[in-house]
Amino acid sequence: MSRRLPRKDVVIVGFGWTGAIMANELTDEGLEVIAFERGPWRDAPTDFPPGYMQDELRYRIRHELFLRPDQLTFTFRNKMDQTALPIRSWGAFMPPNGVGGGGVHWNAEMWRFLPSDFVLKTHLTERYGGVPAPGYDDPGLGDHL
């Protein structure tokens, strides 16, 4: 059975970071706002307690925080003359599902530094010399070393 809700000044569809920021700004200006989100409510203290180890199988593989193919299937093609086919493995593109959107989980792909990453300045200085003198306006390396 349908139910009529009270009128609001603004309706926001999608309550991720952008929707939440907009809702905050608009309510600060005195407007009445309602936001709709297709996914579940996220409660940080109980859903993501600080002592909880994030479960990659649960979130990344089984898509608990993300859209599942049966919720929304994206299609892709490289050229206009190709047939668009469904994407079953999204790689790093993980469309979010639930309050907080993609901000709840950013795919946590943090690559480990290589030993060479920690000696880059030393390597470049040894190979090419010191940092250019002040006033040297090469937009290349300059003060970034």
pLDDT (tens digit per residue) in 27-75: 999 999 999 988 888 877 777 777 766 677 877 777 777 777 677 778 8
| Weakest-pLDDT range from 43-47, 84-88, 122-126 | 43-47
Q: pTM for the whole thing?
A: 0.53
> How much is the mean pLDDT over the chain?
79
Q: Element (H or E) spanning 27, and its range?
A: helix 17-28
**Do residues 131 and 141 touch, judged by C-beta distance below 8 A?**
yes
